[in-house]
């Protein structure tokens, strides 16, 4: 009874049921997509569009993509030519003084260490025996009386102080002479480069 009433209602309205005929597009006569299908713009966007200006890649066997990547250019080596036209005498004096003091300390320490090593190895006793053989029995000498540790340390200290004074004065004199010579001939040229 329900089916007859449904057919009567469809007959009165003059419309066909929804599932009876597929929908067609008014432009091209193609069936319209259902409610779950994607629109035509979505399907056309999914396809890769080829522009008119693009050309297909060559598929020749000899062609390779190595030529497309360019190697990084080598950096140019920078060179700078400088001329030492003047030397500051005050900086030379300070540097020479510090270096000569260091050299004096090394001299004193080396003298004391050398004396201790000679004493421990028995070199002084051997020198005494050698002098006794050369001088005879009556001329026995002890080398430690003339070259004791205190005397060696004092002598090394005096030499170091004189060394400090002489090296400092000579360095300042050399700086002054260099400045005079650089004013005449142009100084020493130095070329600096990057590694």
Mean pLDDT in residue range 87-100: 95
pTM above 0.95, yes or no: no
Residues 6+ apart with CB under 8 A from 31: 22, 23, 24, 25
Q: Is 50 within 8 Å of 164 (Cβ atoms)?
A: no
Cβ atoms of 31 and 22 within 8 Å: the answer is: yes
From CA 122, how far away is CA 177, in angstroms rounded? Answer: 50
* Mean pLDDT computed over 26-42: 49
Q: What is the pLDDT of residues 108-158, one digit of tens each?
A: 999 999 999 988 888 888 887 887 777 665 556 677 777 888 899 999 999
Give per-residue pLDDT as tens, 49-65: 454 445 555 555 555 55
């Amino acid at each position: 009874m329900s089916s007859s009433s449904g057919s009567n209602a469809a007959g009165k309205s003059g419309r066909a049921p929804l599932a009876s005929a597929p929908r067609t597009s008014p432009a091209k006569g193609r069936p319209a997509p259902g409610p779950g299908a994607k629109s035509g713009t979505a399907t056309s966007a999914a396809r890769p569009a080829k522009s008119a200006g693009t050309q297909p890649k060559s598929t020749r066997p000899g062609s390779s993509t190595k030529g497309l990547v360019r190697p990084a250019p080598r950096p140019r080596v920078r060179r700078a030519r400088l001329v030492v036209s003047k030397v500051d005498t005050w900086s030379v004096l300070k540097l020479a003084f510090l270096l000569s003091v260091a050299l004096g300390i090394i001299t004193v320490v080396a003298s004391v260490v050398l004396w201790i090593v000679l004493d421990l190895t028995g070199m002084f006793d051997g020198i005494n025996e050698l002098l006794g053989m050369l001088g005879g029995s009556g001329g026995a000498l002890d080398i430690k009386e003339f070259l004791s540790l205190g005397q060696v340390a004092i002598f090394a200290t005096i030499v170091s102080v004189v060394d400090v004074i002489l090296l400092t004065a000579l360095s300042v004199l050399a700086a002054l002479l260099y400045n005079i010579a650089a004013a005449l001939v142009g100084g020493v040229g130095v070329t600096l480069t990057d590694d």
